[in-house]
Amino acid sequence: MDTEDFQQAEEFKQKGNDCFKHSKYQEASDFYTKAIDCHSTSPKAAPYYSNRAFCQLKLENYGLALEDSKTSIKLDPNFVKGYYREGSAYLALGKLEDARNSFKAAHKLQPKDTDINEKLKKLKQMIYEKEFLKSIEIQHTPLVIHPEDIIVEPSYNGPKLEEDNQEITAEWVLNLMNWMKDQKKLHKKYVWILIKRCNNILKQYKALIDLDYGQDEKLTVCGDIHGQYYDLLNIFSLNGNPSPSNPYLFNGDFVDRGSFSVECILTLIAWKVHNPNVIHFTRGNHESKNMNKMYGFEGEVIHKYDSKTMEFFSDFFQNLPLCYVLNKKVMVNHGGLFSNDGVTLEDIRAIDRYQEPPDTGLMTDLLWSDPVKQNGRHPSKRGISIGFGPDVAQKFLADNKLELLVRSHEMKENGYEIEADGKVITVFSAPNYCDQMGNKGAYIIFKGSDMKPDIKTFSAVEHPKVPPMAYSRNFLNLF
């Protein structure tokens, strides 16, 4: 890299750094790309790849982060940050042994670095825990919940359920929402009752559910809410509470990241138990044990309740359906489409969803895949599943006599994005994601008369000063 190219690259790098400081990660990534383009094969370009990898980690594009990290190491095998970013990407993908090997390589170069040593110590603990849990793992059997064994203290004055089968009215749910809005906990006994009753409803469903709405009926579809309880309350304030005339479908990722995930999921469960037809939900990639362990929900549940309650939530997540089809026209699922052609709605309906998401297959694609601008199928920017092009979407919809795919799974600046000539819509309902992205949220209203998407956007509202990831395990400070 000659002097002029290097100076130009450093200017782009500094602009990228400035954007990064203001949480403008995509803009920062674009500037680092310009720095790389000045001379992508010089060892001096290693920091640019590493910086871009850091942006991709922030954007949750872990596959791209891994690629950039590996390139920075290839350009400069002594560049410690390259190994650090590589280890972070592997950790985000749940590849703990690979992550430890990356940090070992960083340790070899800087053996006295206390941060690297701390990461290695935590990874050792995580690997031990993972191996221990695997050693005692048994084939899935539904957990039996016994709320009757729990004593409610006389001092508790929140919402109550005197009997397992007590009717849950709309007024009871609204009381619960207001109780939790004041950062008060629903008693564990009643949490268990709600989960138990909701499981009994969900077990009647297939992996794919057909919903049909009459000409004058409507359905609101929301995307990720990620533990942002006060933004969930705002959706109901703007669009009305769930009711037979105002039903909702929440498209996965109710938990993790935001530190009010318990409140989000309990609100949705309570409405579902009140009336199964006013709330529908699909499973997202964050409704899984690995993600909950890393991104805060497990820590939050244990902090607010205990590990047994977390077991019941994990079991509940396995009962969630994976996909809805609305009026035989619109398919709604969290991630996207499939690694191979020829998948039918009957194939989806037949998926055994009572499991943790596997590494590959139809279930994983439904939870993890993303649309891309180029035709064809491409390696996933996340490192899991695939990216599918407009032609893949159009063929799948045509083969299954559908008109539109609605999916979530990705933060969008305006809360939504329309792709594939209008055949794919991403909807994301967590505004100012993680208190730093500055994005809007969105939801979509479908009317039975035409099933055309009516997209509404909204901004974030204030919430109590509990930061995102407040209950996540400390190793996520890697990011």
Concatenated DSSP letters of 12-72: HHHHHHHHHHTT-HHHHHHHHHHHHHH-TTSGGGHHHHHHHHHHHHHTT-HHHHHHHHHHH
Residue 165 pLDDT > 90:
no
| Sequence-distant (≥ 6) Cβ neighbours of residue 287 within 8 angstroms | 252, 253, 254, 255, 317, 320
Can you tell me which residue has the tokens 């939900």?
A: 281
Return the number of other C-beta atoms located less than 10 Å from residue 367's C-beta: 26
Tell me the average pLDDT of the chain: 94
Per-residue pLDDT tens for 106-147? 999 999 999 999 999 989 988 888 787 777 665 556 678 888
What is the structure's pLDDT at 472? 84
Specify burial of residue 436 (Cβ count, 10 A radius: 0-12, 13-18, 19+). Answer: middle
Per-residue pLDDT tens for 444-477? 999 999 999 999 999 999 999 999 999 986 555 5
Which helix (H) or strand (E) segment holds residue 250: the answer is: strand 248-251
Contact in structure between 62 and 43 (CB atoms under 8 Å): no
Please report, to the nearest 10 degrees, the dihedral formed by the alpha carbons of residues 204, 208, 214, 216 taken in order. Answer: 100
90-121 b/e (C-beta count within 10 Å ≥ 16 → b): bbbbbbbebbbebbebbbeeeeeeeebeebbe
**Cα-based distances in Å from 148 to 45, 160, 193, 308, 396:** 63, 13, 9, 15, 48
pLDDT-derived band at 392 (thresholds 50, 70, 90) equals very high
Per-residue pLDDT tens for 178-202? 999 999 999 999 999 999 999 999 9
The one-letter amino acid code at 361 reads G
- In the residue annotation, 146 being an active-site residue is answered as no
Strand locations in 64-137 (E):
none
The model's pTM: 0.91
Per-residue pLDDT tens for 215-229? 999 999 999 999 999
What is the structure's pLDDT at 478? 46
CA 382 to chain centre: 12
Rounded average pLDDT over 234-256:
98
In the chain, the domains with their CATH numbers are 3-135 (1.25.40.10), 147-478 (3.60.21.10)
Annotated catalytic residue: which of 187, 286, 334, 409?
286
